[in-house]
Amino acid sequence: MLIGVGPGEYLSLVRLVVLLLDDTTAAEDVVQEACVAVHASLRLPRDDGKALSRLRRELVSRSRSVLRRRAVAGRTVPAYARDEPSAEPGAVTLLEHSAFLAALRSLPCRQREAIVLRYYASLPDAEIAAAMGISKGAVRHHAAHGMDALKPVLEHDAL
């Protein structure tokens, strides 16, 4: 495990990636692979700030790769050959079935990433921009459009 990334932080990172991928098993794989890649690439393993920033960027990048592979596989695999998602008991909370998470999953990838990193991971725009590989202005743009799309669901849940 990376310096500064203990069991609690690891679970938090897995939950963050679950929100991006909607798949607990794939999220665990992405986090483990990203931790290994970042650990191997760091010259100074004691630089926790640099490691965590690099890890977030790696998580977003690897999540995008998983989503791209799914899109390609979805176009090439006949509908009758697709497996249903796993129903592992206790792996996903009841909250995952809420209208909010369904709306979050329907957002375009960049908007979903900006929303998850800002409101779930509580990162400032500069760190979100570094993780996503875009400018701070683009982060604000994607987050604003994502929140506009989520407003009807949020207002409905508040009632």
Q: Dig out the tokens for 141 from the structure.
A: 């743009």
pLDDT digits (tens, 9 = 90+) for 30-68: 999 998 888 887 765 556 667 788 899 999 999 999 999
Tell me: the pLDDT tens digits for 3-39? 557 777 888 999 999 999 989 999 999 999 998 888 8
* Contact by Cβ (8 Å): 12, 59: no
pLDDT average, residue stretch 68-82: 70
SS3 126: helix
Average pLDDT for 126-148: 95
pTM of the shown model? 0.68
CB 14 within 8 A of CB 27: yes
More confident residue, 153 or 45: 153
Dihedral (Cα; 147, 103, 98, 56), 10-degree rounding = -70
Can you list the domains of the chain with their CATH numbers? 1-88 (no CATH), 93-159 (1.10.10.10)
Q: Residue 159 has what pLDDT?
A: 53
* pLDDT for res 4: 58
Distance CA 106, CA 63 (A): 16
Alpha-carbon distance of 59 to 54, in angstroms, equals 9
Could you give the percent of the chain with pLDDT greater than 70?
Answer: 75
Contact by Cβ (8 Å): 114, 142 = yes
Is 80 exceeded by the pLDDT of residue 71?
Answer: yes
- Predicted confidence at residue 126, as pLDDT, reads 94
Q: What is the pLDDT of residue 48?
A: 62
Reported confidence tier of residue 92, pLDDT bands at 50, 70, 90: very low
Distance of alpha carbon 3 from alpha carbon 47, whole angstroms? 8
Comparison of pLDDT for 68 and 94, the residue scoring more: 68
